[in-house]
Amino acid sequence: MNILHINSGRRWIGEAAHTYHLVQLLAARGHAVVCAYRRGSDLGARLAAIDFPRLELELGSRFGIAADLRDAFRLSTAVKRERFDIIHAHRSKEHWLAAVAARVFRLRCPLVRTRHVVMPTRENVFNRWLFSRTAKVVCVSKAIETIYRGMKIIDGAKIAQIYSGIDTARFDTTADRERLLETFGIVHPGAIVGIVAQLKPVKGYDDFVDMAKEVLTTHPSTYFLIAGEGARRRDIEARIDRYRIDDRVILAGHRDDVPALLQLFDIAVLASTGSEGFSRATLEYMAAGRPVVGTDAGAVPELIEDGETGSVVPRGAPREMAEKVRLLLDDPDRARQMGTRGRARAESLFTNDRWVDDTLRLYKELLP
């Protein structure tokens, strides 16, 4: 098949990573895949770095007649020239752009939209028209699927649920533990509790730091490692300083060695207070064989088997999170068993092969 994926995201977040990995997996199966991206985006830079077939569009955040018409014309020209069988959009901007271009320029290929966030679409006449022009809506979790099946502006037969996948082999790595510990200034740790996420409000870092403060009252030799960068760094540092736990909570910044870094964690935490349409971080924790303490945000309860591969706690409940972390710190054998079961679950249910198989099956159903 000839397939066009479009992602208008500017920054490297879950939706961009999803698109980046999926287009490569489809191409590896022998399909001709092109990825359209927003000019100046992180996704575009990564595609260029691997010389992946790509199409640059303006894809501005706001609707603008001149820019959007240019994009629609470039899109329609590419579709007709390359004879794409499928157009697959990942965000609202390109979803609308593709639907309008298909109507104006009489494009015949089916339009697919992936929905990545746990948030309903406004039920109005405009979106009713948009979904009438959409062949399938792919929900990356059951939480999103439930929302969409409750909406009246889309035919339920057009809704499909497909989990993303992960290459578990990437996490079969041996970390230079001593070097990493030295890098972070960690000396004789009792255990390391870690989190990997951008430093932004929705990731629940206030709750993570509050949890760390609580755990340290009973487990003072524990270290807490935060891997990520973002706008909330100063706020997080101030909270850590206020609690006087800066010798135990380490901000590691952005890391390109996440598979190795996860080998340091005895317990992995997902503290999000919202979003998490799929939660790739949780899946990476599982692939690395770490027990996960995660909140009940979005798809997280679908990924973690509560009591088997980790624990699910309510959002915004740092004391409950601390209690679950303490239980695992007090029973390291159980923690290791949870991590082992989590890895097995990732290998069984969330493989890249299954992700691509399900996606290709959906595409084929739409072709004549």
Classified as helix, coil or strand, 52 is coil
Same domain, 21 and 153: yes
Instruction: Return d(Cα 13, Cα 358) in angstroms, integer.
Output: 23
Q: Is the pLDDT of residue 103 over 80?
A: yes
Q: At what angle do helices 14-28 and 352-366 cross, to 10 degrees?
A: 80
Dihedral pair phi/psi, residue 272, rounded to 5° = -55, 145
Distance of alpha carbon 18 from alpha carbon 335, whole angstroms: 29
Question: Which whole number is the average pLDDT over 350-355?
Answer: 96
pTM: 0.91
Domain containing residue 54: 2-165+351-366
pLDDT band of residue 275 (cuts 50, 70, 90) is: confident
Residues 152 and 214 in one domain: no
Assess whether 103 and 237 both reside in one domain. no
Rounded CA-CA distance 309/237 in Å is 31
Contact in structure between 308 and 336 (CB atoms under 8 Å): no
Residues 297-319 have a mean pLDDT of: 96
**Does residue 94 surpass a pLDDT of 90?**
yes
**H-run or E-run covering 330:** helix 318-330
3-state helix, strand and coil shares in percent for the chain, rounded to the nearest 5: 45, 20, 35
CA–CA dist 280, 12 (Å, integer): 13
Total number of domains in the chain: 2
Q: Are residues 184 and 139 in the same domain?
A: no
Q: Among all chains, which residue has been given the structure tokens 């994926």? A: 5
Residues 211 and 334 in one domain: yes
Helix pair 205-216, 318-330: axis angle to 10 deg? 50
Mean pLDDT for the stretch of residues 14-36 = 97
Residues 26 and 139 in one domain: yes
- pLDDT higher for 135 or 174? 135
Q: How far apart are CA 82 and CA 80, in angstroms?
A: 6
pLDDT tens digit sequence for 138-189: 999 999 999 999 999 999 999 999 999 999 999 998 778 889 999 998 887 7
pLDDT confidence tier of residue 310, bands split at 50, 70 and 90: very high
pLDDT, the chain, mean: 95
Give the percent of the chain with pLDDT over 70.
Answer: 100
Residue 43: is its pLDDT beyond 90?
A: yes
| Pair of tokens at residue 271 | 């503290």
Mean pLDDT, range 114-130, rounded to an integer: 94
Whether 112 and 184 share a structural domain: no
Range with the poorest average pLDDT among 183-197, 235-249, 278-292, 350-364 = 183-197
In this structure, the answer to whether residues 260 and 142 fall within a common structural domain is no
Q: Are residues 355 and 345 in the same domain?
A: no
User: Parallel, antiparallel, or unpaired: how do β-strands 32-38 and 54-57 relate?
Assistant: parallel
Q: Which two tokens stand for residue 38?
A: 């927003």
CA distances from 154 to 124, 139, 148, 151, 159 (A): 11, 13, 8, 6, 8
Instruction: Please indicate, yes or no, whether residues 161 and 249 belong to a single structural domain of this protein.
Output: no
CATH value at residue 10: 3.40.50.2000
Tens digit of each residue's pLDDT (9 = 90 or more) over 51-76? 999 999 999 988 888 999 999 999 99
Locate 287 and state its tokens.
């692939």
317 and 197 belong to one structural domain: yes
Each residue's pLDDT tens digit, 198-231 = 999 999 999 999 999 999 999 999 999 999 999 9
Tell me what pLDDT residue 27 has: 98
Per-residue pLDDT at 119: 87
Closest CA to 139 of 19, 280, 277, 276: 277
What distance in Å separates the CA atoms of residue 245 and residue 214, rounded to the nearest whole number?
A: 11
CB atoms within 10 A of CB 8: 25
Answer whether 105's CB lies under 8 Å from 78's CB: no
d(CA 49, CA 59): 21
175 plus 321 within the same structural domain: yes
What is the pLDDT, as a whole number, of residue 47? Answer: 98
Residue 187's pLDDT is 83
